[in-house]
Structure 1
């Protein structure tokens, strides 16, 4: 019953920790797709 709370808190902490580094891209499919669409040259190296 209380499982969503620690999962949500963990995702929240990951977002806080990675905002300055990656722009909070914790979903690789979404991050890589956007990098390909916007023609980011190092899109394949980041994942």
Structure 2
């Protein structure tokens, strides 16, 4: 990666994009888990 001639802000943008993707995935995973738990509880009850 260091071999690639980058202007500078390129790596920063990539890090920001990765961070946003990570946060979105975590939030979505938590929401899905909560929905799954609710469905399971309602189904059992």
**Does TM, normalized by the shorter one, top 0.5?**
no
Normalising by structure 1, report the TM-score. 0.40
Q: Which has the higher contact order (CA 8 A, sep 6+)?
A: 1
Normalising by structure 2, report the TM-score. 0.41
